[in-house]
Every structure is written in C-alpha cells, then in structure tokens.
C-alpha cells in the first residue's frame, strides 16, 4: 500500500531539495528548436562529476502526480552520481563520468511491430511536453539499494496510445541505444548490448508506468537515461531501460537482457518482492543511499500492492520472479 503520511507540501522547507526554476514552455520550445537543450544536457558533466542541477536545462512546468510517494526525495547529486548504466561502466560513479559523451539530440525512436502507426518518431512526437507530471517514485535496485527520485514524464499508456497498439499486441519490448563511439564499456561490461527490456501489455498500460524525460523539473541527465527512459515503480530498477531507441509491440514475451544473461537470477517479471530472494542479495530489506537511517524493509511491489497485485492474481511469484 502507498504510504502517504504527509504531503510534500507539509515537509519543512529544510527537508526539500530546492525546486528548480521552471522556464515557460515557449522558452523550452525555443531552446529545443535551437538545439540548445541537447547541448546543455551533453555539456552537463564535461570532465567533472555529476554536475549541478543549475547547469541542466529546465522542462516546462509539470503537475505533481497523486501517484507520488511522500518520502523525501534524494538530492540531485545523489540521483545523478550513483547510477547503473553499464554501457558507461559498471562502477556506480562511472555513468556520471562518461555519459556526457552520449549525443541525445537528434534522437529517433523506432516504433514497430503490432501497432497501427509504425515509424520513426522524435521524442517530442511521442511525449507531450505540455502534459508532464512530476512522479516521485522509490527506485529499488535488485542489488538491494534504493533512492527516491522526482521524475518528470508522462504515462507510458499515453505514448502507446499515440502509436495505436493492435489488438494482438501482448507485450512491449524496449531496445536501448548502442553507440560504439560514445559508450566506452560496450565490450567490457559483461552483458550483451543492446540492453533489452519488456513488459506485458497490461503492465505497460498501467497508470503507474511512466515514460521519463526529466528529473527535478530538468531535462533528464544522460546518466539517468536521456533523452527517454521507462520507469516501472513496482519492479526492480533493471526493468527501466535507459535511452530507449526502439519500442516494439509483439505477441511474444521478450527475452530481457538480464534474464538472457542469467535466468536463474533474473526473470521477466522482476516485481519487487521481499519474500523471494535473489541468490546473491536478500530482498527483505534495502540500503537507502546516503540516508542516516540506512536500511528499510522492502515492501511487496515496492509499496504499490494495492494498485498492481491484481495484475498477477493466480501467478506463483516464487516461480515467475
């Protein structure tokens, strides 16, 4: 169940990371048109570390989603300085160091398979930047750590509805970028690229599932998956593929990267579940990154049982993990 003890507005201001100064949509479109947005994203780290939020271009205003948790968000520095993005290295600080090399503009997403409107889409063809929501979700990694992150995005269902799922579509497969010239660790990270993830159609259309384009009201930093990444808050973080370049609707269950790599450790569903341990990490509790109280009990479906348990009724979650 979603724990809403107090709203974010109730938090003493000392507990909230300063809100970004939002720019108007007009300003955003002007910057986007001039190509400045991509350049701002790309120059974020330029040789130094995670960068500051001030260096990152602002998105148009987003309304706060009622789906948000009221847990206190982590800071910009934590969220952009401790990442998993193996294309840019397996160390947690590697993506902050190397991901600025990724060219995120122009960006094309190929939409194909069982859709009525297949084609090559720009980010702004798929995501309505006038309809952004801020969704504060806890990202729970299967390595048993977590962070609370104020994402900006739209429901994935809004994106899929634009391209028209055909009735026979049962799954969505996401393929993420492979850029040999820009990604230094493609040969040494130990997994196959492109990174592939997938969802069942009902999971993809669930209102909690989000297509993310930003963080703290700013354009998404590259190390967090710019320009476009998926976020499914009741699943382990590895389900949320970064820098998506292809969305394919299919009637076959996709073989996701981690399941292909090690099927005894990683399944297709990857629902956060404190009762099913990973062979190497207990899932009963989690380390909260940078927190004073550094451990918390992991919640079933990461706290979203009320909203999503029904998707899995009749399934044995110890077998379909």
- When CB distances are held under 5 to 8 angstroms depending on the partner's kind, the choice from ligand MTE, Mo ion, none that residue 185 binds is none
Q: Which does 87 bind (CB under 5 to 8 A by kind): ligand MTE, Mo ion, none?
A: ligand MTE
Contact 229, 244 (CB under 8 A): yes
DSSP conformation letters of 56-74:
SPBPSP-EEPTT---SPPP
> What does the DSSP 8-state code read for residue 16?
S
* Interacting residue ranges for ligand MTE, rule: CB under 6 A: 83-87, 139, 141, 176, 195, 224-225, 237-238, 240-243
Q: How far is the CB of 299 from ligand MTE (least distance, A)?
A: 17
CB of 28 to ligand MTE, least distance (A): 22
The DSSP line for 89-107 is -SSTTHHHHHGGGS--SS-
- Give 95 or 113: the residue with its C-beta nearer to ligand MTE: 95
Q: CB-based burial of residue 26 (10 Å sphere; 0-12 exposed, 13-18 middle, 19+ buried)? A: exposed
Task: Give the residue with the Cβ less far from Mo ion, 141 or 154.
Answer: 141
Of Mo ion, ligand MTE, none, which one sits near residue 175, judging by CB under 5 to 8 A according to partner kind?
none
Q: Is 180 in contact with 186 (CB distance < 8 Å)?
A: yes
**Least Cβ distance, residue 239 to Mo ion (angstroms):** 9
Say if CB 16 and CB 8 are below 8 A apart.
yes
Nearest CB to ligand MTE, comparing residues 65 and 176 = 176
Nearer to ligand MTE, 24 or 108 (CB): 108
Instruction: Provide, rounded to whole angstroms, the least separation between the CB of residue 131 and Mo ion.
Output: 28
Considering beta carbons, is residue 31 or 80 the nearer one to ligand MTE? Answer: 80
Q: Concatenated DSSP letters for 178-196? A: --TTT-TTTTTSSS-SS-E
Minimum Å gap between C-beta 104 and ligand MTE is: 13
Question: Residue 242: which of 270, 223, 266, 217 has the closest Cα?
Answer: 223
DSSP E strands in 240-312: the ranges are 244-250, 285-288, 295-297
Summarize as ranges the residues that interact with Mo ion (CB under 5 A): 84, 141, 237-238
Q: What does 89 bind: ligand MTE, Mo ion, none (CB cut-off 5 to 8 Å by kind)?
A: none
């Amino acid at each position: 169940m979603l724990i809403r003890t107090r709203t974010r507005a109730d938090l003493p201001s000392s507990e909230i990371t300063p809100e970004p100064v939002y720019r108007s949509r007009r300003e955003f479109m002007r910057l986007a048109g001039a190509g400045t947005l991509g350049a701002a994203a790309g120059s974020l780290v330029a040789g130094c570390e995670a960068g500051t939020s001030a260096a990152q271009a602002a998105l148009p205003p987003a309304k706060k989603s009622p789906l948000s948790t009221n847990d206190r968000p982590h800071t910009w520095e934590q969220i952009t300085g401790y990442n998993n993005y193996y294309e840019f290295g397996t160390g947690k600080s590697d993506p902050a160091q190397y991901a600025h090399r990724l060219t995120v503009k122009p960006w094309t997403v190929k939409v194909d398979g069982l859709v009525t409107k297949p084609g090559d889409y720009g980010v702004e063809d798929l995501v309505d930047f006038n309809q952004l929501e801020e969704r504060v979700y806890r990202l729970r990694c299967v390595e048993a750590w977590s962070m609370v992150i104020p994402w900006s995005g739209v429901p994935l269902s809004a994106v899929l509805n634009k391209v028209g799922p055909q009735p026979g579509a049962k799954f969505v497969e996401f393929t993420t970028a492979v850029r040999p010239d820009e990604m230094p660790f493609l040969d040494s990270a130990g997994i196959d690229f492109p990174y592939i993830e997938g969802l069942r159609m009902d999971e993809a259309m669930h209102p909690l599932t989000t297509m993310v384009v930003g963080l703290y009201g700013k354009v998404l930093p590259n190390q967090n998956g710019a320009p476009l990444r998926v976020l499914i808050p009741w699943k382990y973080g590895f389900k949320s593929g970064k820098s998506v370049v292809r969305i394919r609707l299919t009637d076959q269950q996709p073989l996701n990267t981690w399941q292909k790599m090690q099927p005894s450790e990683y399944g297709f569903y990857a629902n956060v579940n404190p009762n099913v341990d990973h062979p190497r990490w207990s899932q009963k509790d989690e380390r909260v990154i940078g927190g004073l109280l550094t451990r918390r009990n992991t919640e079933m479906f990461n706290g979203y049982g009320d909203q999503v348990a029904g998707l899995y009724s009749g399934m044995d979650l110890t077998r379909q993990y």
